[in-house]
């Protein structure tokens, strides 16, 4: 039985993530896929491998269900923290929905007391779709920029979420352009009856606020440009050899193409390699199904680095196991004969 | 230049034709003629038709392919499908835009060639008599009305002539309609006996003719 057919070394696109390690210009790496396919394990492994060849690596989880702490058996928070046992690998977990509350709380304590104009302006600004997540994202990026990491790996939330996240810059830029234009047109009018200082009722300044928004817009468009640069950013798709996962991956790859975000790596996780003499019916049946989808993947994504990862008999948690697992991203797994 | 009397009559005929056939129908007809000409727009239209055919073929293939069993083939078809759909939508938008532009231009030209001329002619030739009435045949007030608004008394003004032409055209077209209706009615009545009894269907053409006449 040919259960050992994994390697396709004659391919031009080798089945490893070596190309990512070799591409020294990379700054942002996104790891994404459907839920439960092993995004966190893959991103942790990739981070470990990158830490071996780069000066400093930061791993960020934007998944509301944070798993980094789980994978490394160590608590991470909103601030970047070194991972135990590494000198150049840090990790942090951000909640894309949480930080907007902080932001709002910091803006004006007496908003409720005054009601009226200030609240309205805020409502207007925050009514832009996706602005909350984008703002927290921008906040993180600002932080990350000042921290000067060589590579930043994003462990993203399941598919739909990720795509929305990456879409923000474009959406937001459009929305903010509208707001800026509005303020330019009606600014003089508003200033006319707000007084020469442009003071809003709750002590905010109209011009200041517009400047802030404009600044945000600039940050975001800068980030947008970086994400669309294939020398700086790449997206690693993680999937399992099953129909729905494959379907989502295809959709994601098409959408990423639409946004102009580079992607050339696919990690196929949780592959079964039952021993030839194994008489586990489920394993053999599943292996057969996975084989079918693997062939389809090979046919469809002939211009991708398709990495095949085995399903282990143990949970991949803790530094040692992650390191062992991560090795298979670089050296293709060969099942025991 | 042909005589003014004839021009006014022709303009009335044209206006009446436009009103009966309908502006949209005329525009559509002109648009089809325009598309048959070797222009940029017609090239685009044939391209669009070709693309639409291809798109439908791919769509059929896509529906016939099982996404579970032949994922690679299905996904490739899907990519093509999406790309073509996008292209098609873009083309459709530009096609619609050029049609709207054409419709606007055709509408302006059509209006000025018919109704525009109809309004302008009395304005230019308002003071000219179309022809003179025999002296003393009509009382003063009739002469006054016929020469309304600016033509010399005792003549027919262009406005009166227009009104007369319009009435004549209407009468003429209505009688043609009635004749056509009665001819078609008898024809269909002659056809019918093959399928059913003659006696029962006998009165029908007569009544339809009567209806046609009543309309006129």
Domains of chain A, earliest start first: 17-98+130-179+229-329 (3.40.50.300)
Q: What is the pLDDT of residue A88?
A: 92
Mutual angle of helices B117-124 and B4-21, in 10-degree steps? 160
Of A6-10, A205-209, B65-69, which range is least confident? A6-10
Q: Residue A164 and residue A118: Cα distance in Å, rounded?
A: 29
Give yes or no for residue A5 having a pLDDT over 50.
no
Q: What is the pLDDT of residue A168?
A: 64
Of A195-199, A256-260, B207-211, which range is least confident? B207-211
Q: What is the pLDDT of residue B129?
A: 86
**pLDDT tens digit string along A268-303?**
999 988 888 888 888 889 999 999 999 999 999 988
Q: What is the pLDDT of residue B197?
A: 47
User: Which residue in the list A9, A22, A63, A262 is annotated as catalytic?
Assistant: A63
Q: What is the pLDDT of residue B50?
A: 92
List C-alpha distances in Å: A191 to A180, A188, A194, A212. 15, 5, 5, 17
Q: What is the pLDDT of residue A15?
A: 87
Higher-pLDDT residue of A241 and A111 is A241
Give yes or no for residue A189 having a pLDDT over 90.
no
Kindly state the DSSP code that residue B133 receives in the 8-state scheme: P
Mean pLDDT of A121-142: 63
Interface test with B, best of A252, A268, A297, A300 (most B CBs within 10 A): A300
Q: Residue A85 and residue A83: Cα distance in Å, rounded?
A: 6
How does residue B193 score in pLDDT terms, banded at 50, 70 and 90?
A: low
Interface test with A, best of B67, B75, B76 (most A CBs within 10 A): B75
Residue among B70, B72, B79 whose CB faces A254 most closely: B79
Mean pLDDT, chain B, whole residue set: 84
Q: Residue A188 and residue A203: Cα distance in Å, rounded?
A: 18
Q: Which residues of A touch B85 (CB under 8 A)?
A: none
Smallest Cα distance from B86 to chain A, Å: 12
Q: Which residues of A are annotated as a binding site?
A: 34-41, 242, 269, 280, 283
Question: Residues with Cβ < 8 Å from A268, sequence gap 6 or more?
Answer: A239, A240, A241, A294, A297, A306, A307, A308, A309
Q: What is the pLDDT of residue A261?
A: 86
Q: Which residues of A are annotated as a binding site for Zn(2+)?
A: 280, 283
Q: Is A171 on the interface with B (CB under 8 A)?
A: no
List the end-to-end C-alpha distance of chain B, in Å, as a whole number. 35
Q: What is the pLDDT of residue A146?
A: 76
**pLDDT tens digit string along B20-72?**
888 888 888 888 888 888 888 888 888 999 999 999 999 999 999 888 888 89
Residue among A243, A254, A300 whose CB faces B72 most closely: A300
pTM of the model: 0.69
**pLDDT tens digit string along A84-130?**
999 999 998 877 665 555 555 555 444 444 444 455 556 665 665 55
CB contact residues (below 8 A), chain A span 285-304, against chain B: 293, 295-297, 299-300
Mean pLDDT of B168-178: 94
Q: What is the pLDDT of residue B171?
A: 95
Q: Record the tokens describing residue A100, joined without a space.
A: 């907007």
Q: Which residues of B touch A300 (CB under 8 A)?
A: 71-72, 75-76
Q: What is the pLDDT of residue A163?
A: 58
Q: What is the pLDDT of residue B206?
A: 43
Smallest Cα distance from A297 to chain B, Å: 7
Give yes or no for residue B205 having a pLDDT over 50.
no
How does residue B192 score in pLDDT terms, banded at 50, 70 and 90?
A: low
A295: annotated active-site residue? no
Residues counted in chain B = 216
Phi-psi domain of A238 (left: phi exceeds 0; alpha: psi -120 through 50; beta: other)? beta
Mean pLDDT, chain A, whole residue set: 78
Q: Which residues of B touch A258 (CB under 8 A)?
A: none
Give yes or no for residue A3 having a pLDDT over 50.
no
Kindly determine whether residue B75 and residue A293, on different chains, have CB atoms separated by under 8 Å. no
How does residue A199 score in pLDDT terms, banded at 50, 70 and 90?
A: low
How does residue A46 score in pLDDT terms, banded at 50, 70 and 90?
A: very high
Interface of B with A (CB under 8 A): 67-68, 70-72, 75-76, 78-79, 82
**pLDDT tens digit string along B98-138?**
889 999 999 999 889 888 988 898 888 888 888 888 888 88
Smallest Cα distance from B66 to chain A, Å: 11
Q: What is the pLDDT of residue A136?
A: 63
- Chain-centroid distance of CA A162 in Å reads 6
Q: What is the pLDDT of residue A45?
A: 94
């Amino acid at each position: 039985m040919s259960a050992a057919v994994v390697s396709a070394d004659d391919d031009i696109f080798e089945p490893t993530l070596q190309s990512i390690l070799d591409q020294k210009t990379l700054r942002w790496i996104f790891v994404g896929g459907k839920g439960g396919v092993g995004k966190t394990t893959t991103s942790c492994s990739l981070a470990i491998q990158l830490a071996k060849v780069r000066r400093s690596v930061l791993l960020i989880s934007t998944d509301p269900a944070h798993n980094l702490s789980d994978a490394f058996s160590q608590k991470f928070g909103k601030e970047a923290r070194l991972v135990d046992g590494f000198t150049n690998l840090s990790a942090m977990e951000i909640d894309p929905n949480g930080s907007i509350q902080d932001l709002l709380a910091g803006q004006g304590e007496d908003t409720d007391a005054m009601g009226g104009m200030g609240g309205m302006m805020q409502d207007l600004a925050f009514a832009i779709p996706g602005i909350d997540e984008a703002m927290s994202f921008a906040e993180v990026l600002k932080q990350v920029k000042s921290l000067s990491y060589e590579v930043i790996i994003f462990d993203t939330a399941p598919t739909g979420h990720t795509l929305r996240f990456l879409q923000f810059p474009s959406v937001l830029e459009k929305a903010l352009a509208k707001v800026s234009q509005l303020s330019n047109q009606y600014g003089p009018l508003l200033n006319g009856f707000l007084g020469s200082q442009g003071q809003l009722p709750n002590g905010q300044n109209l011009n200041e606020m517009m400047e802030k928004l404009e600044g945000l817009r600039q940050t975001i468009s800068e980030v947008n440009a970086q994400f669309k640069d294939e020398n700086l950013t790449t997206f690693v798709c993680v999937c399992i050899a099953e129909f729905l996962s494959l379907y989502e991956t295809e959709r994601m790859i098409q959408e990423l193409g639409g946004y102009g975000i580079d992607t050339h790596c696919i990690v196929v996780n949780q592959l079964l390699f039952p021993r030839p003499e194994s008489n586990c019916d489920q394993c053999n049946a599943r292996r057969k199904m996975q084989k079918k989808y693997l062939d389809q993947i090979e046919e469809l994504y002939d211009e991708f680095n398709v990495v095949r990862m085995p399903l282990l008999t143990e949970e991949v948690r803790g530094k040692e196991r992650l390191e062992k697992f991560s090795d298979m991203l670089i050296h293709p797994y060969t099942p025991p004969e | 230049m042909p005589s003014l009397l004839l021009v006014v009559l022709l303009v009335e005929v044209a206006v009446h034709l436009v009103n009966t056939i309908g502006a949209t129908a005329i525009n559509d007809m002109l648009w089809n003629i325009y598309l048959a000409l070797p222009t940029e727009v017609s090239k685009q239209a044939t391209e669009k038709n070709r693309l639409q055919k291809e798109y439908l073929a791919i769509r059929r293939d896509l529906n016939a392919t099982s996404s579970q069993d032949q994922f690679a083939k299905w996904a490739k078809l899907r990519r093509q499908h999406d790309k073509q759909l996008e292209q098609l939508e873009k083309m459709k938008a530009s096609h619609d835009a050029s049609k709207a532009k054409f419709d606007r231009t055709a509408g302006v030209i059509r209006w000025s060639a018919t109704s525009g001329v109809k309004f302008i002619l009395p304005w230019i030739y308002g003071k000219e008599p179309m022809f003179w009435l025999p002296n003393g045949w009509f009382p003063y007030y009739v002469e006054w009305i016929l020469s309304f608004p600016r033509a010399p008394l005792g003549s027919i003004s262009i406005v009166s002539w227009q009104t007369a032409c319009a009435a004549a055209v209407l009468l003429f077209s209505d009688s043609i309609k009635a004749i056509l209706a009665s001819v078609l009615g008898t024809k269909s009545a002659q056809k019918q006996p093959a399928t059913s009894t003659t006696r029962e269907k006998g009165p029908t053409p007569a009544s339809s003719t009567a209806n046609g006449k009543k309309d006129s």
